[in-house]
Amino acid sequence: MPTPSSSARLFIIYTGGTIGMAYNDSSGTLVPMSFKEIKYHIPEIARLGYEFDMFAFTPPIDSSNMSPEIWVELAEIIHEKYDTYDGFIILHGSDTMAFTASALSFMLQNLAKPVILTGSQLPIGEIRTDAKENIITAMEIAGARRNGLAIVPEVCIYFDYFLFRGNRTKKFNTETFEAFRSINYPPLAEAGINIKYNDKFIFPVPAGEFHINTKLCTDIAVLKMFPGISQNTVEAVLNTPGLKAVIMETFGNGNTTTAPWFIKCLDHAVQNGIIVLDRTQCDGGAVELGRYETSAYLQQIGVTNGKDLTYEAAVTKLMFLLGQNYPATTVKKLLETSLKGELTEK
Ligand code: ASP
């Protein structure tokens, strides 16, 4: 049986999520439990030959309570431990894992080591749990090196035999073990009998010193289009006090209604300095402003093209760019540029 060829030191951060939950005896609901002794649950990890240390959030959280403050904390922990460890594993609830992975991809600069998020659909104590495979393979990938360099120096999600670029991933299914997909970017690795790395889609180890950038701004909103959306709703979102940017979730290639009141509202918002990022509601494919008449006017107004950004990457990229206090023109330009492989530039 293939085993990892060299030893590595890994740091595991347990934030919470189903992976470490247990059924509450009285209410029957799943609640986070403490998860200190990972070796007790998965004795097999000793056979990887890796050394590892662990930090557990107290109390552990359901990832629906994840927040930008905790993303900063995670970035700071990784920064503090960076020189001591070869790779990092973040055990995280699946609900918002794609947001955390996307946020960290922007906050961790010149990352030369793997940061792998994983979790599970069934708690680790359940007989049919998917937690063991997810953790063991995530650890193997986090410690994998070739010629002394990390094979995957990126923030990734590993789940159900696939390794994905974190900022390309979305939670896709609440029930099957295949909880995540990366529709617009190929998997970085697939775990079968061997772990097959898709080298040409993985970033090379960067030059430059690792550092973190933890400035985030949450003054954003989302405007999801639907046939029949009212002027009141659109105005309520665009007039949110303090709003700096809005993600407009559009139809198909980035289209919206061309009702005159809607165009006027949008134009007014852009004139007032609000960045409007056009992101398609479709999971696959990209926004193509001007392909149809129903998006051509958006270009004229000055709407920004979200291309094939996931919702999670759009939210966190906006928070990151707004946090830098760049002028709006710079934010708009960088939104349409790939910073960490989160979109396809065309
Ligand atoms: N509600 C859980 C969480 O996100 C679900 C999971 O872990 O899969 O924390």
pLDDT, one tens digit per residue, over 121-141 is: 998 888 999 999 999 999 999
Q: Which atom of ligand 1 is found nearest the CA of 179?
A: 8
Question: How would residue 32 be classed by pLDDT, with cut points 50, 70 and 90?
Answer: low
Residue with tokens 């760019």: 321
159 CA distance to ligand 1 middle (Å): 13
The DSSP call for residue 232 is H
Q: How far is CA 84 from CA 14, 40, 81, 171, 315, in A?
A: 18, 24, 5, 32, 32
Cβ of 30 below 6 Å from ligand 1:
no
Q: What is the mean pLDDT of the chain?
A: 93
Q: Which residues pair with 150 in a beta bridge?
A: 145
pTM of the model: 0.95
Residue 4 has pLDDT above 70, yes or no: no
Residue 2 has pLDDT above 60, yes or no: no
Residue 244 to residue 224: CA distance in whole angstroms: 17
Residue 3 has pLDDT above 50, yes or no: no
- Residues annotated as catalytic (active site), given as ranges: 18
Domains belonging to the chain, first-starting first, are 3-212 (3.40.50.1170), 220-335 (3.40.50.40)
176 CA distance to ligand 1 middle (Å): 13
How many CB atoms are located within 10 Å of the residue 346 CB? 9
Which pLDDT score is estimated for 5?
Answer: 47
Residue with tokens 């979305």: 170
